[in-house]
Structure 1
Amino acid sequence: MPLNRAAQTLTTLPLGTRVVVRYRIPDGLTDALGYLRGIDDARCTVETRTSDVVIELADVQAAKEVPPPPPRRSARGG
């Protein structure tokens, strides 16, 4: 089965690119925001803040490159 446009977009991005991927889960849709760490013919891996998320390309509904996160603010004690 050919990949949809969103999944095809992922295959063109270099590893390490920051991405957001919307994909199907049993209860609906969810997003993964992080760095593209791996991709093959069937799945991709996105490193999020909390864990690596492995996503089946057939489940991808939307995907795009996103800019780097803003710098973290330092905590100010008082």
Structure 2
Amino acid sequence: MEGVTAPNVSPIETLSFEAARDELVQVVAELEQGSPTLEHSLALWERGEALAARCEEWLLGAKRRLDEARAAASDEDDS
């Protein structure tokens, strides 16, 4: 099974956006290369889905923070 790695076992909820994004890129590349077994492909797919959800979580959080900062700036301008 040269070139094929097991899905990372780091808890997804502890990953930074950058770490989750980088691992997701690796998972996608590995899926594109094809896995030796269906089970391995499924494990990669599930990990990828969870990583994508983690990235989306981070992005939504960042958007929320930006929206709050813009609202606060707007409130200051109105004062």
**Which has a greater percent of helix?**
2
Same fold (TM over 0.5): no
**TM-score, normalising length from structure 1?**
0.32
**Which has a greater percent of strand?**
1
